[in-house]
């Protein structure tokens, strides 16, 4: 799933390639991805793209005051097309949810792979009309994200630290992958109760969040949309690396699986050598 750094890179890419162009036409072959109906997507045609920005993991294209807001979810992506075919894509077939044609023949597809229908596109007059945007917490790369703010968020929650880091209404843009990375960086168990962190741990955690995300943004800067996923993968230390050696201590990276996702961690670095219970695994072993 694209998180803050990948969405930020898409924003930079769109500023270079799309801002300043005029939308020629919008096709919506996957009508289920469109979550709004007023204004209709056809309202974008003939308008100039005047800005691109990000709210947490939401991508926001300002088209002369009409906003095309996209949440890529787990399997969604933006595919840049230097030259789009003029014929519209077939309705309801294939991965394309929405196709945006620009005035010079280029454009982009908003797609989703597989059967997980998570891609969500909104055409709104104000980005905060999107419920997920209106409820977002602090952006971890903004000046508002201070050690004190993080301390307050953690202290106010009953859950574990992994849950707090990934809750978009608290911190906007941090997801499953980068929260795994950050927790590994500061050697904290994902299941440590959020309210039990010491001041020193909170300060380290804050530093790790800012550094991990800024580094990822810097690594992916200037990459084309199609290259971002590979770059994200190559920069990760534990996330998605189950069974591989921990880059710091050499222990095997372990995982805890849930219905649709899994978290990764190093037991030696983060949980005092004790593997966390994995319900799926213990069920299989019974
Ligand atoms: Zn380790």
167-177 tens-digit pLDDT: 999 999 999 99
Ligand 1 centre to CA of 255 (Å) is 13
Tens-digit pLDDT profile for residues 171-220:
999 999 999 999 999 999 999 999 999 999 999 999 999 999 999 998 88
**HEC secondary structure over 199-256:** HHHHHHHHHHHHHHHHHHHHHHCCCCHHHHHHHHHHCCCCCCCCCCECCCCCCEEEEE
Q: What is the mean pLDDT of residues 150-164?
A: 94
Q: Which of 179, 229, 240, 221 is nearest to 77 (CA)?
A: 229
Q: What pLDDT, on the 0 to 100 scale, is given for residue 116?
A: 65
> CA-CA distance, 186 to 207, in Å (whole number)?
9
Q: What is the mean pLDDT of residues 220-244?
A: 83
Ligand 1 centre to CA of 184 (Å) is 8
Q: What is the mean pLDDT of residues 37-60?
A: 97
Ligand 1 centre to CA of 29 (Å) is 46
Residues with CB under 5 Å of ion ligand 1 are: 246, 248-249, 251, 266, 268-269
Q: What pLDDT, on the 0 to 100 scale, is given for residue 118?
A: 83
> CA-CA distance, 144 to 138, in Å (whole number)?
7
Ligand 1 centre to CA of 197 (Å) is 20
Q: What pLDDT, on the 0 to 100 scale, is given for residue 280?
A: 59
* 56-to-37, 71, 83, 193, 273 alpha-carbon distances in Å: 23, 10, 30, 24, 34
Q: What is the mean pLDDT of residues 25-31?
A: 93
Q: What pLDDT, on the 0 to 100 scale, is given for residue 91?
A: 81
Q: What pLDDT, on the 0 to 100 scale, is given for residue 210?
A: 97
Ligand 1 centre to CA of 180 (Å) is 13
Please tell me the pTM assigned to this model: 0.90
Least confident of 2-16, 89-103, 272-286: 272-286
Ligand 1 centre to CA of 217 (Å) is 24
- Asked whether residue 286 carries a pLDDT value surpassing 70, the answer given is no
Tens-digit pLDDT profile for residues 261-270:
899 999 999 9
Ligand 1 centre to CA of 237 (Å) is 10
- Asked whether residue 22 carries a pLDDT value surpassing 70, the answer given is yes
Q: What is the mean pLDDT of residues 157-169?
A: 95
Q: What pLDDT, on the 0 to 100 scale, is given for residue 265?
A: 97
Q: What is the mean pLDDT of residues 237-264?
A: 94
Q: pLDDT averaged over the chain?
A: 92
Tokens of 81: 């097309």
Q: What pLDDT, on the 0 to 100 scale, is given for residue 279?
A: 66
Ligand 1 centre to CA of 190 (Å) is 14
Tens-digit pLDDT profile for residues 100-146:
999 999 999 999 887 766 899 999 999 999 999 999 999 999 999 99
């Amino acid at each position: 799933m694209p998180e803050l750094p990948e969405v930020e890179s898409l924003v930079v890419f769109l500023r270079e390639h799309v801002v300043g162009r005029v939308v020629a036409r919008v096709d919506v072959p996957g009508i289920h991805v469109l979550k709004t109906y007023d204004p209709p997507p056809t309202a974008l045609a003939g308008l100039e793209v005047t800005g691109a920005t990000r709210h947490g993991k939401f991508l926001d294209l300002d088209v002369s005051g009409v906003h095309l807001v996209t949440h890529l979810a787990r399997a969604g992506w933006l595919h840049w097309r230097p030259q789009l075919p003029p014929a519209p894509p077939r309705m309801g077939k294939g991965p394309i949810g929405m196709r945006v044609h620009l005035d010079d023949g280029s454009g982009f597809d908003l797609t989703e792979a597989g059967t997980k229908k998570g891609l969500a596109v909104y055409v709104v007059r104000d980005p905060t009309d999107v419920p997920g945007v209106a409820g977002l917490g602090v952006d971890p790369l903004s000046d508002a994200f201070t050690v004190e703010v993080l301390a307050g968020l953690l202290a106010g929650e009953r859950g574990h630290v992994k849950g707090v880091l990934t809750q978009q209404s608290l911190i906007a843009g941090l997801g499953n992958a980068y929260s795994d990375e950050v927790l590994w960086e500061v050697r904290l168990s994902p299941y440590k109760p959020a309210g039990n962190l010491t001041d020193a741990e909170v300060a380290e955690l804050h530093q790790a969040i800012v550094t991990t995300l800024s580094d990822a943004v810097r690594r992916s800067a200037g990459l084309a949309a199609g290259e971002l996923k590979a770059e994200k993968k190559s920069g990760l230390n534990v996330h998605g690396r189950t069974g591989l050696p921990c880059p710091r201590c050499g222990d095997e990276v372990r995982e805890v699986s849930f219905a649709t996702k899994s978290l990764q961690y190093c037991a030696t670095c983060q949980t005092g050598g004790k593997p966390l219970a994995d319900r799926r695994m213990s069920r299989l072993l019974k």
